[in-house]
Amino acid sequence: MVNLLAKEQAAQAVKFLKEEARPLEKALFELDFEDGSPEAVLRELQAFQNEDGGFGNGLEPDFQCPASSALATTIGLQHLAHIGADDSNIVVQRAIHYVLQTFDEERMGWEIVPPEVDTAPRAIWWNYGGDWPWGNPSAEMIGLLYHFKTLVPSEFLDNVTAFAIDYVNQLTASDHHEIQCLVKLMKELPKNEASKIGGKVNELLLANITTSPAEWGGYCLLPLQVASSPSSPFVSLFEESIPANIDHLLSTQDEDGSWKPAWAWGQFEDDFQKAKIEWSGILTLDNLRILHAFGILGS
């Protein structure tokens, strides 16, 4: 049986977000749970946008380089979509311009991070030139182009969509970061296009999501990370695991009210301590959203 998040636990989580999280996550929390505004989120998000329109400046806390990246720009565009910013918004327009300008025709996608990543504090896995699968972040980026499609040439969108569908259907294995990008792609694709990869995505999810509670303490892909609300199209795949996964989520809240990252950088230790707090704000907000969606927040 799933427990409720106790009132005291919820209050501690809110206290952490108000006092320790970045202004961006604080503004997002206030928008989602209090009387905050999209405009406040937009103001905080603009601090991470560069002159070229892309996002950087540590928006993804695990690499702190100021330069724009495809990965950070997907995060920025997800936030813009969340607050309801549309194609008329100059922040959106500049970001989409950056995305179109940095498309790599040879790889039919986007390079995940720029060379400048090597000049800044970062996790050991964020070195330039890593062997990242195509879908991370290109699949997610294509989904975001659909969300803001009036800013995107239709022929370009058709071509990258055809490539994405073919790529996904040829996959025999994937890592869980790419799988999450495929889920985000499916969310934005038109139904007839999404249906072409639905079976393969379900197959990859079943093969890669960890459903054993004994393994949830490690770094793995959890059911709630892809089925984050009862309305998710993937809930039916993991309905037997979700109640226990919710209880696991409740049990892993820290005494200070936050949820902490399950990883460390392995270098730049002082910088990681700052990033750890930033990640704790992100994870705490994400987990409160999940618990709210499933009706688990105590009153």
Q: Is 171 helix (H, G, I), strand (E, B) or coil?
A: coil
pTM summary value: 0.96
Residue 2's pLDDT is what? 61
Q: pLDDT tens for residues 74-102?
A: 999 999 999 999 999 999 999 999 999 99
Residue 208 has pLDDT above 80, yes or no: yes
Please indicate whether residue 213 or residue 173 has the higher confidence score (pLDDT).
213
Q: pLDDT tens for residues 51-74?
A: 999 999 999 999 999 999 999 999
Residue 138 has pLDDT above 90, yes or no: yes
What is the 3-state secondary structure of 203-254? HHHHHHCCCCHHHCCCCCCCHHHHCCCCCCCCHHHCCCCHHHHHHHHHHCCC
Domains of the chain: 7-293 (1.50.10.20)
The residue whose two tokens read 């209880």 is 247
Residue 6 has pLDDT above 80, yes or no: no
* Mean of the per-residue pLDDT values of the chain: 95
Mean pLDDT of 131-148: 96
Mean pLDDT of 118-135: 93
